[in-house]
Amino acid sequence: MRDSSFLHRGPRTARPSARRLVLALVLPFALAAASAAPPARAAGLNVLLVTIDTLRPDRLSCYSTRYLKTPQIDSVAGRGVVFERAFSHAPLTLPSHASILLGAIPPAHGADDNGMRVVPRGAPSLQRTLKAAGYDTGAFVSAFPLDTRFGLAEGFDVYDDRYPARAAAALDFPERPAGKTVDAALDWLAARKGRWFLWIHLFDPHAPYAPPPPYDSLFAGDAYSGEVAYVDESLGRLFRAVADRGETGRTLVVLTADHGESLGEHGEMTHSYFAYNSTIWVPLIVAVPGLRAGRAKDPVGHEDIFPSVCDLLGLETPGTLRGRSVRPALEGRRLEPRPIYFEALEGYYHRGAAPLRGVIDGPMKYMDSPIPELYDLGADFDETKNLAPVRDVAPYRKALGELLRRVAAPSGSSVRQADRETIERLRSLGYASGPAAPAKKEFGAADDLKTLLPLEQRLIQAGRLAHEGRPEEAVRLLEGLIQSRPDLTRAYSKLAELQYSLGRPEAHLAAYERGALANPGSFPMVSSFGIALVEHGRFARAIEVLRRALGLFEEDPNVWGALAEAYWKTGEFEKAEEHFGRALALAPGDAVINGNMGNFYVAWGLKTRDSGRIDRSFALFERALATDPSLASVHNGLGGAWKIAGDPVKAVASWEKAMALDPGYDLPVYNLALASLESGEKSRAEALFRRYLALKGDAISAAERREVEGLIAECRK
């Protein structure tokens, strides 16, 4: 949902995307509370968990010196154990972090897709276990895939996800640079007096690769490595702060990545599509005070981190965990062989592809798909020779099936369903309801990810064309993809965002509508279409479509917030207030939703002459700006609130700020023009009114144009 505005005056001109959409379902997990009893023996160590998004091991010089030096991370490796064969269970941000913090693989914890899943409440987690043991717990994340709404915040005293509300470009995730995330973490750390658990997540190596100076010039031909170098420098400040506190010798450090990056290997440019080692092989460094540095060769997985930390601290490990402690490897001993599960389901959920699941069993890696793959990682870690055509894969397929049967649909789990009222309401409108899932159940070679790779490459190419300033080529490419594969929902979303960024509201709507019609059970498509309808003022249709989206899933704050705005603009203020409340209950710190609700209270207060509603808006605006001070619409709305409250000086200051932040935003220009006219600054008022007309362009109605021209005439008197 994009931001709404104070003194809305007709159609808005095209504006940048406010927030990557939330698309979520809740899946099962065996719920069991972490023990609240004090540990039998506490090691007294702090815990620092560092996760670096999209980081290949070969970009750390403790793994390879081919690309760059990473002295700060190497300093941790120099006093810790470097695991040479650590694997992620999925090449996606949320699933991997859920596996790290919950000590489970995706089929057990259920959060198997970015944005499409929510970690179940009450699940045993590393943060809840450490909190119960008396630790202060703080998390500082850098991008939307780990937003509070996805469920990982439970157990943290502070879960700081104050990344910008809007992405820098239409097809990107909003993210916070490493330096700012480290700053926030250091502020929290400075106030700690006892034992602490700090998790810091840095997103910078994720595409698009745009390192800040001087790394942009130092790595002009390898921007990805430049991002890694910048992250390494930023982490140096964190490690020095721990040392300055005298706590390096009392802090257990775990550093890993959620997944890697293909960079063209196997035909994949980024990640999430395949599950080759280029994206599921990850760095893992564990530094334990009192244990010698070294290297470990035995394969381990993300699910092993939680039980390992418990073991090292002397804490009881929740009995539901399948992961195991890697302490023997830290002490120089061998680990017993055990299969490591992995999956890549993004293509299944969003591209109409067959699911990809697999297992690493000793030196062998098996990938189960319509065209199966088998690799001997001991001899062929880069996976260049598929042995499946000449080897019997039945034993590996059986082992994978047995592993999945042991962990899937655990006792006590449940699937989140819409409530009865919602189901009946949607049925009365002719809609089906229930969790969204791909309708196709049988797959052949034509659905294999390898077969569909050319489509994926064209999707990536479209994004690259858009970033290079060639949007029309990107549009044509996406249209061709949709024609050849109508179930490729990502193509509709990318096309819609591109059309929006080009200032084409009808084409923006049409792309989402086509996606929703072709994929009626897809929550991403239905919810995106409904939110787009709100953005373009089609409120009656939006209410219908968003109610349909809530039948597919009812815990998306963006859908509740968009529906609230639709009710507001159709005059149903009580319903709007209720729906804004539901949105903020799911995402209390969301800058856009807080700002929109603040604007709503200003509008409602004006309509009813109720100063109490105006007063309520201030806290909402302040909360929004605390998360993202760059939102021009919030400053504009705050200016309106100050104006009504009788403080024109603060009103003008807020509108000036809004105009400075977004020179193309028309409403603060209009509000400043009126304020200038009222204060007798007629020449400035005229200039601002003319600027407002220029910004509105053809979007202004004849009646409003006459009104503004009348005000210009008044300026000349």
DSSP letter at 329? Answer: H
Question: Looking at residue 582, what is its pLDDT?
Answer: 96
Question: Looking at residue 6, what is its pLDDT?
Answer: 45
Tokens of 553: 């899933």
Specify the amino acid at residue 76: V
CA atoms of 305 and 253, how far apart (whole Å): 11
Question: Looking at residue 437, what is its pLDDT?
Answer: 53
Whole-model pTM: value is 0.80
CA atoms of 338 and 320, how far apart (whole Å): 18
Q: Rounded to the nearest 5°, which phi and psi values hold at 400?
A: -65, -45
**Average pLDDT in the 559-579 region?**
97
CA atoms of 131 and 127, how far apart (whole Å): 6
Question: Looking at residue 290, what is its pLDDT?
Answer: 93
CB neighbour burial string for 243-272, b if at least 16 within 10 angstroms, e if fewer: eeeebbeebbbbbbbbbbbbbebbebbbbb
CA atoms of 189 and 202, how far apart (whole Å): 17
CA atoms of 678 and 673, how far apart (whole Å): 9
Structural domain 1-30+556-717, CATH architecture: Alpha Horseshoe (1.25)
Q: Are 98 and 261 in contact (CB under 8 A)?
A: no
Tokens of 606: 């004006």
- HEC assignment per residue over 610-666: CHHHHHHHHHHHHHHHHHCCCCHHHHHHHHHHHHHCCCHHHHHHHHHHHHHHCCCCH
- Whether residue 264 is predicted with pLDDT greater than 50 in this model: the reply is yes
Question: Looking at residue 423, what is its pLDDT?
Answer: 30
Share of the chain above pLDDT 70, in %: 88
- Whether residue 615 is predicted with pLDDT greater than 90 in this model: the reply is yes
- Whether residue 421 is predicted with pLDDT greater than 50 in this model: the reply is no
Given pLDDT bands bounded at 50, 70 and 90, which one contains residue 21? Answer: very low
Given pLDDT bands bounded at 50, 70 and 90, which one contains residue 11? Answer: very low
Given pLDDT bands bounded at 50, 70 and 90, which one contains residue 443? Answer: very high
CA atoms of 576 and 568, how far apart (whole Å): 5
**Average pLDDT in the 643-663 region?**
95
Q: Give pairs for 565-573: CB < 8 Å, separation 24+.
A: 565/1, 565/4, 565/534, 565/596, 565/600, 566/533, 566/534, 566/539, 566/542, 567/543, 568/4, 568/600, 568/603, 568/604, 569/8, 569/534, 569/537, 569/539, 570/539, 570/540, 570/543, 573/604, 573/607
Highest mean pLDDT among 61-70, 482-491, 627-636: 61-70
CA 699 distance to own-chain centroid = 33
424-540 shares the fold of 1-30+556-717? yes
* Domain residue spans of the chain: 1-30+556-717, 43-332, 354-407, 424-540
CA atoms of 250 and 664, how far apart (whole Å): 52
CA atoms of 98 and 108, how far apart (whole Å): 10
Question: Looking at residue 121, what is its pLDDT?
Answer: 87
Fold of 43-332: Alkaline Phosphatase, subunit A (3.40.720)
> HSE of 537 in the Cβ direction (CA atoms, 13 Å)?
11
Question: Looking at residue 460, what is its pLDDT?
Answer: 85
CA atoms of 573 and 561, how far apart (whole Å): 13
DSSP-derived secondary structure for 355-372: PEEEEEETTEEEEESSS-
Q: Are 252 and 292 in contact (CB under 8 A)?
A: no
CA atoms of 288 and 679, how far apart (whole Å): 66
CA atoms of 212 and 178, how far apart (whole Å): 10
Q: Are 316 and 328 in contact (CB under 8 A)?
A: no
- Whether residue 362 is predicted with pLDDT greater than 70 in this model: the reply is yes
Say whether 711 sits in a helix, a strand or coil: helix
Strand ranges of the sheet holding 340-344, from the earlier edge strand across to the other edge: 340-344, 356-361, 364-368, 373-376
Check residues 312 and 2 and name the one with the higher pLDDT. 312
Question: What length is written for the chain?
Answer: 717
CA atoms of 542 and 537, how far apart (whole Å): 9
CB neighbour burial string for 313-331, b if at least 16 within 10 angstroms, e if fewer: bebbbbebbbbbbbbebbe
- Whether residue 47 is predicted with pLDDT greater than 50 in this model: the reply is yes
CA atoms of 174 and 504, how far apart (whole Å): 22
| Omega cis (within 30) before 208 | yes
Tokens of 273: 């599509």
Question: Could you give the C-alpha distances from 700 to 10, 13, 640, 667, in angstroms and in order?
Answer: 7, 10, 21, 12
Q: Which residue has the tokens 């080009």?
A: 502
Specify the amino acid at residue 136: D
Given pLDDT bands bounded at 50, 70 and 90, which one contains residue 497? Answer: very high
**Average pLDDT in the 558-573 region?**
97
CA atoms of 269 and 362, how far apart (whole Å): 28
Q: Rounded to the nearest 5°, which phi and psi values hold at 30?
A: -75, 110
- Whether residue 4 is predicted with pLDDT greater than 90 in this model: the reply is no
Selection from 664, 604, 609, 610 nearest residue 636 by Cα: 664
Cα dihedral across residues 207, 213, 219, 221: positive or negative: positive
- Whether residue 170 is predicted with pLDDT greater than 70 in this model: the reply is no
Check residues 228 and 431 and name the one with the higher pLDDT. 228
Share of the chain above pLDDT 90, in %: 78
Say whether 519 sits in a helix, a strand or coil: coil
Selection from 510, 509, 513, 508 nearest residue 498 by Cα: 508
Q: Are 305 and 287 in contact (CB under 8 A)?
A: no
CA atoms of 692 and 715, how far apart (whole Å): 15
Q: Are 576 and 567 in contact (CB under 8 A)?
A: yes
The region that residue 115 occupies, defined by phi over 0 for left and psi between -120 and 50 for alpha, beta otherwise, is left
- Whether residue 167 is predicted with pLDDT greater than 60 in this model: the reply is no
Question: Looking at residue 15, what is its pLDDT?
Answer: 34
Fold of 424-540: 1.25.40
Question: Looking at residue 352, what is its pLDDT?
Answer: 83
Question: Looking at residue 435, what is its pLDDT?
Answer: 40
Q: Are 498 and 472 in contact (CB under 8 A)?
A: no
**Average pLDDT in the 428-451 region?**
65
Question: Looking at residue 174, what is its pLDDT?
Answer: 75
